[in-house]
Chain A
């Protein structure tokens, strides 16, 4: 009983220490100049993940093709259009303005995704 309590108490101290450490780290990070917002979408198993991504204006979204088959990232309105992305290739686009941006793979058009940009 006593031993178990000691173990618990030790675990609790470790937890407290870790939390403190994390607080310090996050303080250091937030003290640095704010990096340009970025988000990523993976293309895997013929699916965009996340299928719906919500970001703030000015965010650069990077798609990475993790499939063994080439894909594209093609806006439904022509707002952006990647070249063909072979395995491992990336495509980035910065969403400056708020709005809803649908896109699809021009090779496999059943693959669709949306980026929602709002402040």
Chain B
């Protein structure tokens, strides 16, 4: 395991370097020229063994301005402030999609500027709201997906943990739910091949990778094929957004978790005529929005996930 750490660290620092230049992606392997590589190699190996945390934010819907939230920018800013105020500084942020409401440049711009306030690398996957430009997701990918594959999928290693970013909002089929597609599944198979089953895996994607509620499209049609590839690993954590509420499930060695939105809550599955925004009173809104802090402690099977609301 120790031998892996240099690569992991190199990969991560590479990502930090990218983040500093405004492109926010890092890739596994650590090959290629990148700023910060020397520093990465020179870094003490011991650091790789330290516990670390990262933060998940989701569904910021920048541009949303209807009940129950007239200003999704304001609540996203509050979420970023919350990240900055965490007692343990996270190593990075993941944003699990629906960054924008309508894929408009000014929405992506504002999200990017606000995230910069956190001073941390950010890793993105798109939600369906980020695919609405005339070219079907190019605006998002040009800004947040440089170097990613296909519709925006990629992976990276960080301190021994393998992170896989999947896209299940591209090329959706009539009557279906989320969709990964054959190309991405093949890429995932290759990406996981040869990795020891003892390596902890974190998978993140926008729409849940298990079926929370089919009637509302809250699931991914071909998720089972991805989960089959992940089944041999001892610790797999799947982080999703899309449904604007916390749901959790453990199946075998795979732990599933969905995060709150920073913009508006949605109803519990099947409790409303549609999954549209839950129009809660203003004083209740912030208790239904929030972030997820993920703590990784070496030697523990699971990443500890701590959800906190904007009102807390």
Contacts of A108 in B (CB 8 A): 128, 217
User: Interface residues, chain B, CB within 8 Å of chain A?
Assistant: 66-67, 101-103, 128-129, 131-132, 134, 172-177, 214-217, 273-277
Contacts of A46 in B (CB 8 A): 216, 274-276
Please measure, in the bound complex, the distance between the C-alpha atom of A69 and the C-alpha atom of B272, giving whole angstroms: 15
Contacts of A103 in B (CB 8 A): 174
B273 lies within 8 A of A45 (CB): yes
B128 lies within 8 A of A107 (CB): yes
> Which residue of chain B has its CB nearest to the CB of A104?
B174
B102 lies within 8 A of A86 (CB): yes
Set A67, A68, A84, A110: member contacting B102, Cβ < 8 A: A84
A69 lies within 8 A of B277 (CB): yes
Known: A70-B102, A86-B102. A106 touches B274 (CB 8 A): no
B101 lies within 8 A of A70 (CB): yes
Nearest CB on A from B241, distance (A): 14
B215 lies within 8 A of A45 (CB): no
Whether a CB of chain B sits under 8 angstroms from the CB of A87 is: yes
Whether a CB of chain B sits under 8 angstroms from the CB of A57 is: no
Whether a CB of chain B sits under 8 angstroms from the CB of A109 is: yes
B216 lies within 8 A of A84 (CB): no
Whether a CB of chain B sits under 8 angstroms from the CB of A58 is: no
Contacts of B102 in A (CB 8 A): 70, 84, 86
Contacts of B174 in A (CB 8 A): 74, 76, 102-104, 109, 112
Known: A84-B132, A110-B215, A110-B217. A68 touches B276 (CB 8 A): yes
Whether a CB of chain B sits under 8 angstroms from the CB of A47 is: yes
Contacts of B277 in A (CB 8 A): 68-69
Known: A108-B128, A112-B175. A45 touches B276 (CB 8 A): yes
Contacts of A106 in B (CB 8 A): 128, 131, 172
CB 8 Å contact bits of A90-109 with B (1 = contact, 0 = none): 00000000000011101111
Contacts of A76 in B (CB 8 A): 174
> Which residue of chain A has its CB nearest to the CB of B171?
A106
Please measure, in the bound complex, the distance between the C-alpha atom of A11 and the C-alpha atom of B273, giving whole angstroms: 41
> Which residue of chain A has its CB nearest to the CB of B214?
A110
Can you sample 20 A-B contacts with CB below 8 Å? Answer: A44-B274, A45-B273, A67-B274, A68-B67, A70-B129, A76-B174, A83-B134, A84-B102, A84-B103, A86-B102, A104-B174, A106-B172, A107-B131, A107-B172, A108-B217, A109-B172, A109-B175, A110-B175, A110-B176, A110-B217
Please measure, in the bound complex, the distance between the C-alpha atom of A84 and the C-alpha atom of B275, giving whole angstroms: 18
Please measure, in the bound complex, the distance between the C-alpha atom of A76 and the C-alpha atom of B175, giving whole angstroms: 10
Please measure, in the bound complex, the distance between the C-alpha atom of A46 and the C-alpha atom of B217, giving whole angstroms: 11
Interface centre among B103, B177, B276 (most CB of A within 10 A): B276
Please measure, in the bound complex, the distance between the C-alpha atom of A79 and the C-alpha atom of B175, giving whole angstroms: 17
B276 lies within 8 A of A67 (CB): yes
> Which residue of chain B has its CB nearest to the CB of A107?
B128
Please measure, in the bound complex, the distance between the C-alpha atom of A41 and the C-alpha atom of B261, giving whole angstroms: 31
Please measure, in the bound complex, the distance between the C-alpha atom of A87 and the C-alpha atom of B67, giving whole angstroms: 12
Ranked nearest first, the 10 interchain pairs of A and B with the lowest CB-CB distance are A45-B274, A110-B217, A104-B174, A46-B274, A109-B172, A84-B132, A107-B128, A45-B273, A68-B66, A76-B174
Please measure, in the bound complex, the distance between the C-alpha atom of A104 and the C-alpha atom of B174, giving whole angstroms: 6
Contacts of B131 in A (CB 8 A): 106-107
Q: A109-B173, A110-B177 are in contact. List 16 more A-B contacts (CB 8 A).
A: A44-B274, A45-B274, A45-B276, A68-B67, A69-B276, A69-B277, A76-B174, A86-B102, A104-B174, A109-B176, A109-B177, A110-B176, A110-B215, A111-B217, A112-B174, A112-B175
